[in-house]
Amino acid sequence: MQIVSANGASIPSLGFGTFRMPGPDTERMVAHVLGNGYRHIDTAQIYGNEAEVGDGIIRSGIARGDLFLTTKVWVENYRHGAFIASVDESLRKLKTDHVDLLLLHWPNDGVPLAEQIGALNEVAKAGKVRHIGVSNFNQALMREAARLSDLPLVTNQVEYHPYLDQSVVIEAAASIGMSVTAYYAMADGKVLSDPVLKEIANLHGKSIAQVVLRWIVQQGLIVLSKTVSESRAAENAAIFDFALSQDEMAAIHALAQPGGRMVSPDGLAPVWDEAA
């Protein structure tokens, strides 16, 4: 498995995401993918499946120290007391004494960012969290969060797929030593019928999903894949035995379009950065 290094963290570049995954499927798939080479699992308090992620890890038989586990604090828990309590609850559900990465899930200007970052640092310094970061932050919020933090932030987890230009966030993250973790890589399935991607996939004897995942990791980024199918999970992992040419990378970048963003919930989304 390829590793991305960022501000002291070593993060497997391919992660298994569990967003909107029912509990029984979560436990089954987490156990399966860990038994078949994945070493990075991503969940969140709001997903409602942290307990099943923990059960899946135990069921897999993989040693806790051999995998990278991420969860996210929900926006309603950003006040200091609620934040600390919510992290303790997440650890109980996950059946572990620490997570490898804890993220702020979305911006919430109802709580001072300094308070949010302070709580992130507190749980890290207490040994409950090995690394900290953010999710769905724009460039300005990401820089401000990094400025406020005693400890380095290691990633910003954001929507990223061929139809969305995230170069502003990617470049800003790199400038402060942070990685970017991509979610929604399949653009809710939209990529699967794209003729440009289909042609590239055919040239490599790969699936469109494999090409998109490869396009992201080949940029030095982290990507989350998600499926409830064991065979699809194996396919998604088979992205390290081929490489895209510079022209193919450029052709995929050229698919970005205005209005390509798909995840922008009212009341949570910040003012997004626009590509130059």
Identified catalytic residue from 47, 78, 183, 184: 47
Q: Is 107 inside any structural domain? A: yes
Q: Is 44 inside any structural domain? A: yes
Summarize the confidence of residues 210-228 as an average pLDDT. Answer: 98
Summarize the confidence of residues 101-129 as an average pLDDT. Answer: 98
Q: Is 15 inside any structural domain? A: yes
Confidence of residue 92 (pLDDT cuts 50, 70, 90): very high
pLDDT tens digit string along 232-258?
999 999 999 999 999 999 999 999 999
Q: Which residues contact 31 (CB under 8 A, 6 or more apart)?
A: 56, 57, 59, 60
- Annotated binding site: which residue ranges? 105
* Number of domains, the chain: 1
Q: Is 68 inside any structural domain? A: yes
- Annotated binding site for substrate: which residue ranges? 105
What's the gap between Cα 37 and its chain centre? 18
Q: Is 56 inside any structural domain? A: yes
* Residue 169 belongs to domain with CATH number: 3.20.20.100
CB atoms within 10 A of CB 157: 27
Q: Quote the mean pLDDT of the chain.
A: 97
Q: Is 137 inside any structural domain? A: yes
pLDDT tens digit string along 158-190?
999 999 999 999 999 999 999 999 999 999 999
pLDDT at position 135: 98
Q: Percent of the chain scored above 90 by pLDDT?
A: 99
Report if pTM > 0.95: yes
Question: Alpha-carbon distance 103 to 142, whole Å?
Answer: 12
Q: Percent of the chain scored above 70 by pLDDT?
A: 100
Q: Is 75 inside any structural domain? A: yes
pLDDT tens digit string along 138-160?
999 999 999 999 999 999 999 99
User: Looking at the predicted structure, is the pLDDT value of residue 1 above 90?
Assistant: no
Domain containing 128 equals 9-187+220-225
Residue 127: closest CA among 93, 70, 88: 88
pLDDT at position 232: 96
Active site residue 47: yes
Q: Is 271 inside any structural domain? A: no
